Structure 1
Amino acid sequence: MNKVSLQGVIDMHVHTNPDLRHRAYDDFELTDAAVRVGARAIVIKTHQGMTMDRAYLCNAYNQRVNHGNNNFTMFGSITMNKVIGGINPVAVETALKLGAKVVWLPTASARNHIEKLNLDMKKCVEVVRDGKVVPEMNDVFQLVKDYDAVLGTAHVSPEECFVVVEAARKAGVKKIVVTHPEWWLVNMSVEDQVRMVKDYDVILERCYAQNMGGGKYKSNLPSNLEIIQTVGYEHVMVDTDGGQVENPHWELALQEYMQYLVDHGIPEEQVYHMTHTIPAGLLGLED
């Protein structure tokens, strides 16, 4: 088998330092790695709030060091955890004005996350209440729509995810990504993933590995292969959710992921679609 190329690849979910949890790369090291392999773009994510200001500095660094000799762009995001006040339209609008491309629902502050890990429920951020999205979510939907940004479902439960996605679609949000539905903490069944795609035309983000607790990770590659075969490559985006010191460095994980798919019968043009075409469309880039 030919070795797949990372040229032009896009990953919309990577964690870096600075972070409360130590990561394998800092922002500039990830920039260097991306340029080294010829990547087109990365979205950096933090559970501590916003990264669009950090993305700006990465792009300025790239320009000064490499003098425009590549077309890599780092993008930022905002995650609506307790640290930014939860579902906070003012914070979301500020982030989007400063260039954020992805608005994630709560991760570590999600009710589902806190319940599954038996943490302090006082720290949770409500997204759905009494079967409906909380009122602030409607303002967030409008902002995501107006700025043509991406809504990521993060760590909410499958039940909450269906409520949010339906409300977002009704509000006119065009770009919706169901975040790592395979992770045991989210635990969305294959049947629900199929229904999400069929009923709401979402993108399923399928990641390299999942945190099983205690510093242990489980490969998602076999189940990722199965979901691609089940729902079709047109609805699956290949991301790493990388940056952990326990896993291979970002570019190695992505290379392994893509190679696994090709080696197991997914045509290279379909892998290209999941790693280039889909994320380029979400970020408003030319493929």
Structure 2
Amino acid sequence: MASSGRRVASVTYREEARALIAQVDDATANRLLQGALDLHVHSGPSTMPRQVDHFQAVEEAAAAGMRGILFKDHHYSVAPFIPLMDRVLGHHNVAMFSGLVLNNSTGGLNPFVVDAQLKQGAKLIWMPTAQSANHIRSSSRKQRLVSNVKLKPSPGLTVVDSYGEILDVVKEILDSIAEFDAILSSGHLHVWEIWKLFAEAKKRGVKRLLVNHPMYGLHFTYDDIKEMAEFGALIEQSACLYVDSRFNVFSPRELKEHILAAGVAHSSIGSDLGQVDNPTPVEGMRQAIKLCIALGFSEDDVRTMVRDNPATIVGLQVA
């Protein structure tokens, strides 16, 4: 019954989102897309079905006037391919970034892999996502990361030992992230793990902290979001969870609450899109912009979240 109730709520939320999105004209959204960055693009190739490949993602971003995108795949890093892509796609003037997700499929919590990837240009290191212990526990009865390739069962990864202390290999990884001034993402760890991780990271000199979709699967409270933002992390909301997407699980009202918990100054929006049967990353960003305007956020608020804050965390000058 509870599962059925969630499905009904999700359909209702999508209808609410559609209605609010329709209130804002395309010209407004397109204007606010100029110079925007999407730091959560799931283009292909991938183990999972993708609607657009990396080249198409760049081309569509360029057509929308966006400034940059960051490619994320749960099972490999796009970072080593960025120089080749830049040679082919550089004329679009879209900054391209990627990084490494520390799942078992990429080496897990392996400081040697992290070191090599950072030296190949990785801009962001995500903690484990689909193969984190928290993700495996949280999604045991609902799996949204549907793959067209059945991967081997994976042991759950955690960044802490049995006493709740940060593992030595993770400390070594944090030192490398600090050395390269890269971004550290929470991945899909539990909020308790993230607090421990980010405290250790800051102590070791990591300056760029990012939390992805805190209210989905990470077990954040509103107080956690507020305090994490005050701690210095950028809080990224995933558009796919709020717009006209098959991943929609939150109401428009909750989007506003989730943003305000951190504050606009500490918030960003990434599409978290690229999957089949969903809006494209650019269309997801466009819908999220419209939804924010319809919810009462100002155009300056939206620019802060989709342009300025993402630019700052990847090390670009704010336009």
Same-fold status (TM-score > 0.5) = yes
- Give the direction of change, closer, same or farther, for the CA distance of 1:277–1:81 in structure 2 (3 Å limit): same
Q: Which amino acid aligns with 1:93?
A: D
Which residue number in structure 2 is paired with residue 116 of structure 1? 138
**Separation in 1, partners of 2:35, 2:251:** 23
Structure 1 Cα separation of the partners of residues 254 and 84 of structure 2? 36
Partner of 1:250: 281
Question: Compared with structure 1, are the counterparts of its residues 220 and 175 closer, same or farther at alpha carbon in structure 2 (3 Å cutoff)?
Answer: farther
What is the number of residues matched between the two proteins?
277
Instruction: Name the stretch that deviates more: 120-129 or 169-178.
Output: 120-129
Q: Does 1:139 align with 2:166?
A: no
Decide which structure has greater strand share.
Answer: 1
Match of 2:189 among 156, 170, 184: 156
Deviations 1:206-247 (A, max 9, x none): 111239xxx654356432211222331011111111112132
Distance 1:220 1:28, change over 3 A: farther
Residues 222-276 of structure 1: CA deviation (Å, up to 9, x unaligned):
3221122233101111111111213211111101101111122111111111111
Distance 1:232 1:193 in 2: 9
What residue is the counterpart of 1:280 in the other structure?
Answer: 311
**Residue correspondence of structure 1 range 45-194 to structure 2 within 5 A:** 45-63=72-90, 68=91, 70-118=92-140, 123-129=155-161, 130-183=163-216, 185-194=217-226
* Deviating more after overlay: 102-111 vs 82-91: 82-91
C-alpha separation in 1, matches of 2:251 and 2:177: 29
Contact 2:225-2:261 within 8 A present in 1 as well: no
What CA distance in whole angstroms lies between the structure 1 residues aligned with 2:207 and 2:252? 28
In the alignment, structure 1 segments of 5+ residues that lack a partner are: none
Cα distance change on mapping 1:267 and 1:216 into 2, 3 Å: closer
Provide Cα deviations, 1:98-118, integer angstroms capped at 9, x if missing partner.
111110000111010112233
**Quick check: 2:104–2:154 contact (8 Å CA) kept in 1?**
no
Secondary structure of the residue that 2:40 maps to in structure 1?
strand
Q: Which residue number in structure 2 is paired with residue 261 of structure 1?
A: 292
Letter in 1 for 2:299: E
Q: Give the partner amino acid of 1:151.
A: L
Secondary structure at the aligned position of 1:132 is classed as coil
Deviation at 1:36, TM superposition (A): 0.8
Q: CA deviation at 1:186?
A: 1.7
Distance in 1 (alpha carbons) for counterparts of 2:156 and 2:259: 33
Pick closer, same or farther for the CA change 1:217–1:246 going to 2, 3 Å.
Answer: farther
Residues 53, 220 of structure 1: CA spacing in aligned structure 2 closer, same or farther, 3 A cutoff?
Answer: farther
Q: Is the CA contact (8 Å cut-off) linking 2:265 and 2:304 kept in structure 1?
A: yes
CA separation of 1:48 and 1:77: change in aligned 2, threshold 3 A: same
Q: Flag structure 2 segments of 5+ consecutive residues without an equivalent.
A: 1-23, 142-151
- Structure 1 segments of 4+ aligned residues over 3 angstroms from their partners: 118-122, 219-222
Structure 1: distance between partners of 2:159 and 2:103? 11
Bigger mean CA offset, 152-161 vs 244-253: 244-253
Matched, 1:10 2:37: yes
Structure 1: how far apart are the matches of 2:241 and 2:302? 21
> Could you state the TM-score of these two structures normalised by the residue count of structure 2?
0.82
**Alignment correspondent of 1:218:** 249
Alpha-carbon spacing, 1:222–1:243, altered in 2? closer, same or farther (3 Å): farther
Q: Residues 101 and 118 (structure 1 numbering): CA distance in 2 closer, same or farther, change over 3 Å?
A: same
Structure 1 letter corresponding to 2:35: G
Aligned-residue offset at 1:46: 0.5
TM-score in terms of structure 1 length: 0.90
The answer on whether the counterparts of 1:109 and 1:123 sit within 8 Å (CA) in structure 2 is yes
| Distance in structure 2 (CA, Å) of the matches to 1:220 and 1:88 | 38
Give RMSD over aligned pairs: 2.0
Structure with more relative contact order (C-alpha pairs < 8 Å, separation 6 or more)? 2
1:79 maps to amino acid: V
Q: State whether residues 271 and 282 of structure 2, in contact with CA within 8 Å, keep that contact through their aligned partners in structure 1.
A: no
